[in-house]
Amino acid sequence: MSEKRNPLFLGRGSYRQRRLADAARLLPVLGAVLMMLPLLWPREGAENVPTTSTAMIYVFGCWLLLVAAAGLLAVWLDPTVSEAETEDDPARGS
């Protein structure tokens, strides 16, 4: 009856690595949404129409933020932890 149980939750390190990998996978989706927002801006003939220079600053600003976010995620992600190692984690219960 004194059977040793596996922990119920993932270890902190592998959990954080999985969430960072999820964030890296969602970054292109976020980039696509941000790059499509200028398509919703008002067209000619409406009041307060943004200029082309404003749109270009927005696009390159988004691009710069995406590059910085990808760089940070690349630094934080641990290349020694592979997807196969986390799949075989006994703490997952599968």
Q: Give per-residue pLDDT as tens, 30-62.
A: 999 999 999 998 888 888 888 889 999 999 999
With a cut of 90, say whether residue 73 has pLDDT above it. yes
Structure tokens, 58: 């927005």
Structure tokens, 85: 């190692």
- Residue 1 is predicted with a pLDDT of 52
With a cut of 60, say whether residue 10 has pLDDT above it. yes
CA angle 22, 24, 29 (to 5 degrees): 95
What's the rounded mean pLDDT across residues 58-73?
96
Greater model confidence, 86 or 24 = 24
